[in-house]
Amino acid sequence: MLKNYIKNKSAGFYLFLVSYVLFIIGFVFFLIDGGKEHKLTIVTVILSVLSIALPLIVEILKVFKIKIDPINLTPIIFVTLAMAGTVMFIGDRVDILGYIFTNHYSFTEDYPELLVTLIFLILSIIGGLVTNFFKLEDSK
């Protein structure tokens, strides 16, 4: 069943999968960073969890042969939620970013989790945006 499912996927699906995994890694670092000095805002957590859960739900329903037409909307939903969560993440830490860019603090010494989180979140958003230009499935 899984072999037949993977057979008709195109490059867009695999690019989406990579950006999805990058977002999950960024979300883990977000949780690590949020446990230090910052509170985890519930809206950011909800947006992040939704951006992780919605593509999974759509793919699981598809594996069980439940017809879902808006499969190509999954990357759009993912990117929208991931961007909203990332903007809120940056908004909560804008004061730290100001200190970093004015050389009072450094990414590598004082806030390495912040740098790693931002890198993974931004790479996942870029990958998700590029995914929107590809089909997720080969039409046969």
Token pair belonging to 116: 């790693």
SS3 (DSSP) at 70: helix
- The pLDDT value recorded for residue 140 is 59
Kindly tell me the sign of the dihedral angle through the C-alpha atoms of 37, 26, 92, 46.
negative
- The pLDDT value recorded for residue 63 is 76
Model-level pTM? 0.70
Render each residue's pLDDT in the chain as its tens digit; 140 residues. Answer: 566 666 777 788 788 888 888 888 887 887 777 655 555 565 666 667 777 777 777 777 777 776 665 666 777 777 887 888 788 777 777 777 777 777 777 666 767 777 888 888 889 889 888 888 887 777 65
- Whole-number Å distance between alpha carbons of 76 and 134: 12
- The pLDDT value recorded for residue 71 is 63
- The pLDDT value recorded for residue 24 is 83
